[in-house]
Structure 1
């Protein structure tokens, strides 16, 4: 069995090929049961969580991502979220590869947002606002720049120092990148706004969104988390990665539905419908679009298959 490290995944998973592999996988589909959540007692104050995310294509591959969340790891200078991805032969069950889970997740998550933007962002979108400064942020910027002619990038974060450090790092990638402390002004001038935060209260206001803007919401992964307000949802044509996941787990979808701002039937489509041509993406130039992702095991399987082919 091969061991594929984070460094190897960084080297081989370029966003262009990965976006196209995700496009193909959403078109063809695979079996991806709802993720398994298990609470694990610990010796600390807070229980840990074990997540199992399986997916398979008959006769090809079986994959499962194993993720642990230990809330108190920060006190030990360890990441709170860790994991690994196991890829097996779909004909015999033979283990083929064990891949670094966090890097695989970051790459496929950013690529899913770029895949959505390839249908939903304006073809001439050149100005991107990145809200958040974590590990996903630079990957989201580069992924969006793969599918749209992004030239100018503004970075906003709760820590200006972190935003400035990220801006300097991304500036070496051939982009014009700056940090900003004025979120409203940055949003009003953006063609694409990508958010990857742990916010529980909305950061992006719908009244700020300029006509023709595409809003990419990535960070919130529980019903209690929220990155954009009701007005943003009200003004936008709303898409999700999977309807089943987003309507159960994404606060940016669950809360507007509960408040009567959004009906589940008003969700314009998901990545299955977009990639298969069953639903149109952006209908006109000045339309505001919104994409909310929570992740699906389908994306992990597609990324793992590509990585094993290339390493």
Structure 2
């Protein structure tokens, strides 16, 4: 299906002349699958883009919350995501986080498309995690342990199941009803799934932490040397999901060293504790290009916070409709 056909099917406004196209969340999720999002991000890194060239995420206080400003440029395309975080919004019946993406051509910086921003986050966050898992997890990984029961827990299960053949998914959460819903979701993907607890860390090949926790979720000494752990729950330096013990004995891979040292609490606090050296952090781009090999003698941890280039890469994939095939 072409981009024009997608717009016609879903009733979007493609725009005429210099009018930008408009993409709703539904249209974005239809245009780019989780597999396509992963391939877009991996290709960007494999082709030589260095995330350290991305501008730092801007954080501006506004009202009861704050605005996040996330600009980036990838060759012929530039863009910026403006996200707002308003903690009291759920009480008003509104989303806590809202976002809009402006996609521009780099040559003229003219706006070519306006995209609903939260859906880009929904796609790119599990996609970058799946890129890491595909390179860091054991090829024969069979057990996936999930901490969290929100939308990102669901999307990470789907994304990870596309890069490894899991025989079991174990779900840990505070609310039994929500845990049961995630288990049912995994089963709907054709996976064996059940509820679990922290002790299941001992047998997990891949662990993903998708929570809002501010303290470590489990004893890091339980993680096997062969395991891969993904922590993606926060981009705040005072929040962490993994303890310093695990961070200190693992090979720690990040999207970008400077960004991790600024925003990733799991990294910031482990460095402050003296458990992790700053120069030990490995950029994901080096793993993707083969410049650094996974160290299979110890756990591999991927800590991500989300970066501007990831939104842009997916937005370009949406707007151009290139490479529709999912094979």
Interval of TM-score (by shorter of Structure 1 and Structure 2) = over 0.9
- CA drift of 1:10 comes to 2.0
Which residue of structure 2 aligns with residue 167 of structure 1? 183
Decide which of 27, 31, 40 is 1:12's aligned counterpart: 31
- CA drift of 1:287 comes to 2.8
Deviating more after overlay: 63-72 vs 171-180: 171-180
CA contact (8 A) 1:70 1:80 kept: yes
Matched, 1:296 2:304: no
Matched, 1:183 2:194: no
TM-score of the two chains, using structure 2 as the length reference? 0.88
Which residue of structure 2 aligns with residue 70 of structure 1? 86
Number of residue equivalences = 300
- CA drift of 1:236 comes to 1.1
CA contact (8 A) 1:220 1:252 kept: no
Question: What secondary structure, in the 3-state scheme, does the structure 2 residue paired with 1:137 have?
Answer: helix
CA contact (8 A) 2:74 2:312 kept: no
CA distance in 1, matches of 2:309, 2:218: 29
Which residue of structure 1 aligns with residue 252 of structure 2? 238
**Offset from partner CA, 1:15-60 (integer Å, 9 cap, x none):** 22221211121233165211111111x3xxxx320111000134x1
Decide which of 42, 45, 57 is 1:35's aligned counterpart: 57
Question: What secondary structure, in the 3-state scheme, does the structure 2 residue paired with 1:53 have?
Answer: strand
Deviating more after overlay: 218-227 vs 20-29: 20-29
Deviating more after overlay: 25-34 vs 113-122: 25-34
Residue ranges of structure 1 left out of the alignment (5+ in a row)? none
Residue ranges of structure 2 left out of the alignment (5+ in a row)? 1-19
Structural mapping, 1:182-201, within 5 Å: 182-184=197-199, 186-201=200-215
TM-score of the two chains, using structure 1 as the length reference? 0.92
Question: What secondary structure, in the 3-state scheme, does the structure 1 residue paired with 2:127 have?
Answer: helix
Question: What secondary structure, in the 3-state scheme, does the structure 2 residue paired with 1:71 have?
Answer: coil
**Offset from partner CA, 1:137-180 (integer Å, 9 cap, x none):** 11111111111112311111111110101211221111112222
CA distance in 2, matches of 1:147, 1:126: 11
CA distance in 1, matches of 2:190, 2:175: 24
- CA drift of 1:254 comes to 0.2
- CA drift of 1:111 comes to 0.6
Which residue of structure 1 aligns with residue 142 of structure 2? 126
- CA drift of 1:69 comes to 0.6
CA distance in 2, matches of 1:214, 1:57: 29
Decide which of 101, 105, 112 is 2:117's aligned counterpart: 101
Question: What secondary structure, in the 3-state scheme, does the structure 2 residue paired with 1:84 have?
Answer: strand
Decide which of 137, 140, 146 is 2:153's aligned counterpart: 137
Question: What secondary structure, in the 3-state scheme, does the structure 2 residue paired with 1:39 have?
Answer: strand
- CA drift of 1:95 comes to 1.5
- CA drift of 1:274 comes to 1.4
CA distance in 2, matches of 1:97, 1:238: 36
What is the CA RMSD across the aligned residues, in angstroms?
Answer: 1.5
CA distance in 2, matches of 1:32, 1:242: 9
CA distance in 1, matches of 2:100, 2:147: 27
- CA drift of 1:211 comes to 2.9
Which residue of structure 2 aligns with residue 210 of structure 1? 224
**Offset from partner CA, 1:209-252 (integer Å, 9 cap, x none):** 12311110000210111101111112211111111111111110
CA contact (8 A) 2:169 2:186 kept: no
Question: What secondary structure, in the 3-state scheme, does the structure 1 residue paired with 2:139 have?
Answer: coil
- CA drift of 1:304 comes to 0.6
CA contact (8 A) 2:244 2:270 kept: yes
- CA drift of 1:197 comes to 0.7
CA contact (8 A) 1:9 1:307 kept: yes
Deviating more after overlay: 135-144 vs 28-37: 28-37
Question: What secondary structure, in the 3-state scheme, does the structure 2 residue paired with 1:3 have?
Answer: strand
